[in-house]
Structure 1
Amino acid sequence: MINVWKAAFAFVLVFINIQISFSQSGGRVSGRVVDAATKAPVDYATISIFKAGASSPFNGISTDPKGMFVLTGIPAGIYKITIDFLGFQKRTVDNVVVTAGGNTQLGTVELNASQTTLNTVNVTAKAPIVENKIDKMVYNAANDLTAQGGVAIDVLKKVPQVSVDIDGNVELQGNANIRFLINGKPSSIFGSSLSDALQSIPASQIKSVEVITSPGAKYDATGTGGIINIVLKDSKVQGINGTVNLSAGTRLENGSANLNIRSGNFGAGAFFSGNEQLNSTIYTSNNRTSTNAANNTTTTLLQDGSGTTKRNGYQSGLNFQWDITKHDNLTGSVGFNHFANSNTGLTNQQQLTMGLAGILSNIQSLRNSASSFSAHSTDYSLDYKKTFKKEDRELQILYSSSYGKNTSFYQQQQSYLGGLYPTSASIANNPGKSNETDIAIDYTDPLTKYLTLETGLKTVIENYSSNTNTDSLLANGNYGHNANQTYGFNYSRKVYAGYISGSFSLFNKALEGKTGLRYERTNTSADFPGTNIPGYNTFAPSFLLSHKMKNSQSIKIAYSYRVERPDYGDLNPFYNISDPHNISTGNPNLKPEIGHNYELGYSKGFNSGASFTASLFYRYNTQDIQAFSTYYDTLSIGGTRYNNVTLTQRYNIGSQTGVGANLYGSVPVGKFNFRTNVQLGVRSNSTQGLATVSGFTYRINLNASYEFPKNLIAEVFGNYNSSQKNIQGTRPGFGFYSIAVRKQFWNKMASVGLTTATPFSEFVNQTSTTYGSNFYQSNLRRVPFRSFGISLSYKFGKLEFKKGKDENGQMSVPDPGN
Structure 2
Amino acid sequence: MKHLLLCALLVLAGTGAGAQAQHTLSGKVTDPALEPVPGAYVMLFKDTVLQKTTLTDADGHYNFESLPDGPYMLKASAMGFDSYSSPVLTSTTAPPNIVLTEKKSTLKEVTVQAQKPFLEVKADRVVVNVENSIVSSGSSVMDVLQHSPGVTVDNNDNISLKGKQGVVIWIDGKPTPMQGADLGTVLRGMPSGSVDKIELISNPGARYDAAGNAGIINIKTKKDQRMGINGTATINYGQGKFPKYGAGLTLNYRNKKLNVYFNYNYALRYWFNHLTLDRKFLDTAKSNDGGQLFRYEQDNYAVFDFNNHTASTGIDYSLSDATTLGAVFSFGSNVFSPKADNASRALDGGNHLLYDFKTTGRHANKYYNYAVNLNLRHNFDSSGRSLSIDADYAAFNTDNRQNFVTRYTAPDGSAYQPDYYLKSKLSGVTRIQSLKADYIHPLGHALRLEAGVKSSFAQADNEPLFYEMVGNDYVLDTKRSNHFLYKENINAGYINLSKDASKWSGQLGLRLENTNANWHQVTTGQKYDTSYTQLFPSLALQYHLDAKQDLGITFSRRIERPNYQQLNPFKYFIDKTTYRAGYPYLQPASFYSVELSHTFNQKLVTTFTYGINKGVITEVIQPSDTEDSVTVQTTKNLKQMTFVGISGAYTFQFTRWWSNVSNINMYYSLYEGNIANTPLRNGKPTFDLNTNNTFLLPGNISIELELYYQARQIYGYMDVQPLWMLNAGIQKHFLDRKATLKFNIQDIFFTGYPKATSIYTGYREDFIAQRETRVANISLIYRFGKNTVAPARKRGGGAEDEKSRAAGSNL
Q: Map 1:96-135; keep pairs closer than 5 Å.
A: 107=95, 110-112=98-100, 114=102, 129-133=118-122, 135=124
Matching residue's letter, 1:651: K
- Highest relative contact order (Cα 8 Å, sep 6+), 1 or 2? 2
Give the distance between the partners of 2:303 and 2:464, measured in 1 at CA: 25
Give the distance between the partners of 2:641 and 2:273, measured in 1 at CA: 36
Report if aligned partners of 1:240, 1:799 keep a CA contact under 8 Å in 2: no
Q: Which residue of 1 aligns with 2:615?
A: 623
Deviation at 1:796, TM superposition (A): 0.7
Q: 2:757 aligns with which of 769, 773, 776?
A: 769
Matched, 1:649 2:634: yes
Matched, 1:410 2:402: yes
Matching residue's letter, 1:444: I
Q: Map 1:120-199; keep pairs closer than 5 Å.
A: 129-133=118-122, 135-157=124-146, 159-165=148-154, 168-188=157-177, 193-199=182-188
Report if aligned partners of 1:521, 1:536 keep a CA contact under 8 Å in 2: yes
SS at match of 1:284: strand
Q: Which residue of 1 aligns with 2:803?
A: none
Report if aligned partners of 1:674, 1:702 keep a CA contact under 8 Å in 2: yes
Q: Which residue of 1 aligns with 2:81?
A: 88
Report if aligned partners of 1:633, 1:644 keep a CA contact under 8 Å in 2: no
Q: Map 1:532-571; keep pairs closer than 5 Å.
A: 532-571=528-567
CA distance 1:85–1:467, change in 2 (3 Å): same
CA distance 1:49–1:674, change in 2 (3 Å): farther
Deviation at 1:168, TM superposition (A): 4.8
Q: Which moved more, 1:306-315 or 1:649-658?
A: 306-315
Matched, 1:514 2:507: yes
Report if aligned partners of 2:753, 2:773 keep a CA contact under 8 Å in 1: no
Deviation at 1:373, TM superposition (A): 4.0
CA distance 1:104–1:644, change in 2 (3 Å): farther
C-alpha offsets along residues 410-438 of structure 1, whole Å, 9 cap, x if unaligned?
Answer: 33222121223222221112111112222
C-alpha offsets along residues 629-686 of structure 1, whole Å, 9 cap, x if unaligned?
Answer: 3324962xxxxxxx41112221122111111111111111221011111011101111
Matching residue's letter, 2:685: F
Q: Which moved more, 1:273-282 or 1:666-675?
A: 273-282
Deviation at 1:439, TM superposition (A): 0.4
Q: 2:783 aligns with which of 773, 781, 795?
A: 795
Q: 1:779 aligns with which of 753, 764, 767?
A: 767
Q: Map 1:314-463; keep pairs closer than 5 Å.
A: 314-354=309-349, 362-371=354-363, 373-417=365-409, 418-463=414-459
Report if aligned partners of 2:65, 2:445 keep a CA contact under 8 Å in 1: no
Deviation at 1:342, TM superposition (A): 4.2
Give the distance between the partners of 2:196 and 2:94, measured in 1 at CA: 32
SS at match of 2:417: coil
CA distance 1:767–1:619, change in 2 (3 Å): same
SS at match of 2:479: helix
SS at match of 1:539: strand
Matching residue's letter, 1:624: V
CA distance 1:592–1:107, change in 2 (3 Å): farther
Any stretches of 5+ residues in structure 1 without a counterpart?
A: 53-57, 98-102, 636-642, 802-812
Q: 2:247 aligns with which of 237, 240, 255?
A: 255
CA distance 1:398–1:192, change in 2 (3 Å): farther
C-alpha offsets along residues 732-770 of structure 1, whole Å, 9 cap, x if unaligned?
Answer: 4321111111110111111111111233x3565643111
TM-score normalised by L of structure 1: 0.84
Q: 1:270 aligns with which of 251, 258, 262?
A: 262
Q: Which residue of 1 aligns with 2:801?
A: none
Give the distance between the partners of 2:729 and 2:626, measured in 1 at CA: 52
Q: Which residue of 2 aligns with 1:638?
A: none
| RMSD over aligned Cα atoms | 3.9
Matching residue's letter, 1:392: G
SS at match of 1:570: helix
Between the two proteins, the alignment pairs up a number of residues equal to 763
Seq. identity, %: 21
SS at match of 1:690: strand
Matching residue's letter, 2:138: G
Deviation at 1:391, TM superposition (A): 1.6
Matched, 1:245 2:238: no
SS at match of 1:691: strand
Matching residue's letter, 2:651: S
SS at match of 2:571: coil
TM-score normalised by L of structure 2: 0.85
Q: Map 1:557-596; keep pairs closer than 5 Å.
A: 557-596=553-592
CA distance 1:784–1:41, change in 2 (3 Å): closer
Q: Which residue of 2 aligns with 1:808?
A: none
Give the distance between the partners of 2:600 and 2:84, measured in 1 at CA: 27
Deviation at 1:137, TM superposition (A): 3.7
Matched, 1:671 2:667: no
Report if aligned partners of 1:163, 1:699 keep a CA contact under 8 Å in 2: no
Q: Which residue of 1 aligns with 2:54?
A: 63
Give the distance between the partners of 1:672 and 1:456, measured in 2 at CA: 45
Report if aligned partners of 1:312, 1:340 keep a CA contact under 8 Å in 2: yes
Give the distance between the partners of 2:475 and 2:220, measured in 1 at CA: 48
Give the distance between the partners of 2:24 and 2:137, measured in 1 at CA: 38
C-alpha offsets along residues 606-643 of structure 1, whole Å, 9 cap, x if unaligned?
Answer: 7xxxx1111111121112111233324962xxxxxxx4
Any stretches of 5+ residues in structure 2 without a counterpart?
A: 796-811
Deviation at 1:729, TM superposition (A): 2.9
CA distance 1:301–1:185, change in 2 (3 Å): closer
Matching residue's letter, 2:490: V
Give the distance between the partners of 2:766 and 2:679, measured in 1 at CA: 20
Report if aligned partners of 2:622, 2:760 keep a CA contact under 8 Å in 1: yes
Report if aligned partners of 2:149, 2:689 keep a CA contact under 8 Å in 1: no
Q: Which moved more, 1:168-177 or 1:448-457?
A: 168-177
Q: 1:43 aligns with which of 39, 49, 68?
A: 39
Q: Map 1:300-311; keep pairs closer than 5 Å.
A: 300-311=295-306
Matching residue's letter, 1:656: M
Q: Which residue of 2 aligns with 1:298?
A: 293
